Amino acid sequence: MFERRWLLGVGLALVAVFGQAHPADAGVLDASWTAPTTNSDGSSLTDLASYRVYYSTSATPCPGGAFFSVASSTATPPTNQTVSFRLTGLANNSTYNVAVTAVDTGGNESTCSPSVGAVAQVEITATPTTTVNFGNVTIGSSATQTFTVQSTRAGTVTGTASVGAPFSIVSGSPFTLVGSGSTATVTVRFAPTSTAAASTNVNFTADGDALSRLVTGLGIGTGSTLTVSMAGAGSGTVTSNPAGISCGATCSASFTTGTMVTLTAAPGAGSTFTGWNGGGCSGTGTCTVTMTAATSVTASFMQASFALNVTKSGNGSGTVTSAPTGISCGATCSTSFTTGTVVTLTAAPAAGSIFTGWTGSCTGASTTCILTMSAARAVTATFALPSFALTVTKAGTGTVTSSPAGISCGGTCSASFTTGTVVTLTAAPGTGFFFSGWSGACTGTSTCTVTLNAAASVTATFSAGTGFTDNPLVAGTTLVKAVHITELRTTINTARTRNGLATSTWTDPTLTAGSTTIKRAHILELRTALNQVYTKLGRTLPTYTDSTLPAGTTAKAAHIQELRNAVNTIP
């Protein structure tokens, strides 16, 4: 008696899901399971013959009537042997439950494995998915149509295409698809042998999948030729009913005697249909010809015209002209051109203005704009007054603002202003600093006014301290005072602290106005303390009048002023 202990459940590995489902498409499922190795009594399995793979859309496929029989590759399966099998011919996009049993050489069947469900899918698609009509084909000639076969799973899929007479496969069968998304083209020929309608399926098969596409065609007898010519500068197409003429491409076709052929004209973009000539046709409606002999018909199309409108914007001025002529804006800013005309617009800024670019049907800053008139077009040309940059650089702590607004330095230290703008800069020192003056496009210590006719740069210098007494000192006029030394001591020590140096100590720490004599040592120790800050910052040391200050040298206004100038440049 065959009573096997089933090891592990059945594992289903689905093929890739296919779209474009067709009623004639057949789905597949890939199932895999681990082979049993022992009998229910624990003894080794030595007489395994086959498996039965049950399937059903019901919840319990096993036991049941529908199954595939799968021969075992060995009577004694090794441990962990995986068995795989593809179920074919299933209803596409339907959910199936699958279970497996084992059958021994005596025909005894094991109990059912647990069931697993999955959706049956196809591995290939074929487009078009709708009926392909070859139309009317004259006996003795042929027409071809193509199908695109596409794989929807990884790996390699091989297949074939077949069809019955009077259709045949010209190329593309057999086909091999490597990887999901890969395609092959199958060409089908219709070669009628009788004046009858033909209809059959093109059948595609691949690795157990099967799908079909319907093809139809009508064989017609020989007859008279209808020829269509197109005239005029415009464009368009002419088609026939029954099919045969599609002019543009096919402007001549044969129709059996007595056939009533209706021609329809369709103007192309930018063209109009102006009428028929020949074959007894006139006017702009459809043209109906009864084929009793060879017939020629002419369809005339003319080009349409489209308006080109130019608009100018901006605070500048200039003109826009066109080639071919028509636009001169300034005065004439709109005209019409026939369809297909290539129009070049040229922008010319007036003196004191600049051209900044096109918008609308043209973009960019080139002074020329090239348009092909296939529809109405609108273009805007922008002219502006030129702008110039005003750049502020700061030394020390403080802010600089502008009127008109634009500069707030601090944050924004450069802005552009239109030509001729009068910009006023105002300096505001930060805490512990005083404004010591402008350089560059401005000088002095009041507000700075710049008229922007070119790019300009201004430097605002803020110095540590609250300012100096008798500033500037005038050589030969200003007497050196105790307060001058005291102010420099305070300012230099502030700069030392700000740059990570200890404060200096001084000879005669407290100088009394009117009683303390200004000494050579007072000047030298100020220079030494300041030079140490310059060295810390990696700067070149200042140069001084009377660099060694020999004994007996009298303190001068120049000694004080050059120290003031040097300390004012320290951040």
**Cβ(464)–Cβ(396) below 8 Å:** yes
Tens-place pLDDT, residues 320-339? 999 999 999 988 899 999 88
pLDDT band at 236 (very low <50, low <70, confident <90, very high): very high
What is the pLDDT of the chain when averaged over all its residues?
A: 86
pLDDT band at 15 (very low <50, low <70, confident <90, very high): very low
Tens-place pLDDT, residues 559-569? 888 888 788 77
* Position with higher pLDDT, 122 vs 276: 276
Q: What is the pLDDT of residue 171?
A: 95
pLDDT band at 400 (very low <50, low <70, confident <90, very high): very high
Is the per-residue pLDDT at 17 higher than 50? no
Element of type H or E holding 563: helix 557-568
Q: What is the pLDDT of residue 389?
A: 94
Is the per-residue pLDDT at 22 higher than 70? no
User: Model pTM?
Assistant: 0.34
Structure tokens given for 468:
């100096």
Residue range 11-119 in CATH 3.10.450.750: no
Say which residue the tokens 């200890």 belong to: 502
Say which residue the tokens 């036991």 belong to: 63
Q: What is the pLDDT of residue 425?
A: 96
Q: What is the pLDDT of residue 369?
A: 96
Residue type, 385: L
* Position with higher pLDDT, 180 vs 355: 355
Q: What is the pLDDT of residue 465?
A: 63
What share of the chain has pLDDT > 70, as a percent?
Answer: 93
Rounded CA-CA distance 217/199 in Å is: 7
Determine the 3-state secondary structure of 560 from DSSP.
Answer: helix
Q: How many Cβ atoms from other residues are within 10 Å of residue 297's Cβ?
A: 23
Q: Once rounded to an integer, what is the mean pLDDT over residues 193-200?
A: 88
Q: What is the pLDDT of residue 75?
A: 93
Is the per-residue pLDDT at 116 higher than 50? yes
Q: Where are the domains of the chain?
A: 11-119, 124-220, 224-303, 305-384, 387-464, 482-568
- Note the residue count of the chain: 571
Q: What is the pLDDT of residue 549?
A: 85
Rounded CA-CA distance 265/297 in Å is: 11
Tens-place pLDDT, residues 419-466? 889 999 999 988 777 787 898 999 888 899 999 989 999 999 887 666
Enumerate the β-bridge partners of residue 127: 148
pLDDT band at 7 (very low <50, low <70, confident <90, very high): very low
Fold of 124-220: Immunoglobulin-like (2.60.40)
pLDDT band at 10 (very low <50, low <70, confident <90, very high): very low
* Position with higher pLDDT, 389 vs 509: 389
Rounded CA-CA distance 21/24 in Å is: 8
**Cβ(192)–Cβ(137) below 8 Å:** yes
558 φ/ψ angles, rounded to the nearest 5 degrees: -60, -40
Q: Once rounded to an integer, what is the mean pLDDT over residues 265-293?
A: 91
Q: What is the DSSP secondary-structure string of 466-532?
A: S--TTSS--TTTSPP-HHHHHHHHHHHHHHHHHTT-PPP--SSSS--TTTSPP-HHHHHHHHHHHHH
Rounded CA-CA distance 172/2 in Å is: 50
Q: What is the pLDDT of residue 19?
A: 26
11-119 matches 124-220 in fold: yes
